[in-house]
Amino acid sequence: MKLITAVVKPYKLDEVKTALQAFGVHGLTVNESSGYGRQRGHTEVYRGAEYTVDLVPKVRIELLAEDHDVEDLLNVIAKAAQTGKIGDGKIWVTPVETVVRVRTGERGAEAL
C-alpha cells in the first residue's frame, strides 16, 4: 500500500478530483499549502527586486492506493494537473505500513 502526495496549482484541484473519481478513487485529503521550486516562485516575466523568494499558494492532495494502482494514478494526476508552465508541482509516493478504518476497525486493503 502506498500514500500518494501531490502538490499542484490550486485551480487544478477540481480537474484532478474529477479525474481521480473517474478512475475509481473514492477518498482523498486536501490541504492548502504554499511553496516554490527551482524557479523560486518567479514567473516568466518578473520585474521585482532580486533576492526575494515568494511562496506561491498550492494545494496538497493525499490519497492511499494499492501498489498495483500507483503507476496509473500518477499518470492520472500528472495529466490532470499539468499546464506546461512553471509551478505545475510534484507528486511523490511513500510506503504505508497499515491503515485502519476508524468506524469499523477494518485494516489493510479493506480499509481503503
Partner 1 sequence: MRFAQGREARSDEMDAWLAGLLGDVEGAALVAVGGYGRRQLSPGSDLDVVLLHDGSRGDPAVAELAESIWYPIWDAKVKLDHSVRTIAQARSVAQEDLAVVLGLLTARHVAGDPELTKALREVVLADWRKQAPRRLPELRALREERRAQHGELAYRLEGDLKECAGGLRDADSLRAIAASWIADVPHGDPEAAQGFLLDVRWVLHTRTGRAADRILLQEQDELAADLEFESADELMRAVSDAARTIDYACDVAWRRVEQALATRNRSSGISGLLRRGGNSAPPREPLADGVVKAEGEAALALAADLNDPVLPLRIASAAAQAGLPISPTSLERLAASPAVLPEPWPEHARAELLRLLGAGPGLIPVWEALDRTGILVRLLPEWERIRSLPQRNALHVHTVDRHIVQTVVHAAERTRRVDRADLLLAAALCHDLGKGLPGDHCATGAEIVGKLGVRLGFPAHDVATLVALTRHHLLFAELAVHRDPTDPATLAPLLAAAGESGTGPAEFVALLQLLTESDSQATGPAVWSTWRASLYRELGLRAQAVLAGEEQPSTQSSGHEEADRTLAGQAAAAPDGIAVQAVAPGSAGIGRIDVAIPDQVGALALVAGVLTLRHVRVLSAELSTAKAGETGYAVQRWTVAAEYGELPDLVRLRTDLRSARAGSLKIAERLATRDQERAAHHKQRPGTPAATVRLLPSASETATVLEVRAGDTPGLLHRIAAAIAGTGADIERARIATLGPQAVDVFYLTFGVGSETAVGSAVAEELMARVRAALN
Could you list the residues that contact partner 1 (CB under 8 A)? Answer: 38-39, 42, 44-51, 86
* CA separation for the pair 7, 1 (Å, rounded): 20
Nearer Cβ to partner 1, position 24 or 95? 95
Nearer Cβ to partner 1, position 79 or 85? 85
CB of 48 to partner 1, least distance (A): 7
CB of 80 to partner 1, least distance (A): 22
Nearer Cβ to partner 1, position 50 or 110? 50
* CA separation for the pair 60, 14 (Å, rounded): 13
Nearer Cβ to partner 1, position 2 or 42? 42
Contact 91, 79 (CB under 8 A): no
8: cell is 499542484
CB of 12 to partner 1, least distance (A): 20
Burial class, 41, CB count within 10 angstroms (exposed 0-12 / middle 13-18 / buried 19+): middle
* CA separation for the pair 52, 84 (Å, rounded): 24
CB of 51 to partner 1, least distance (A): 5
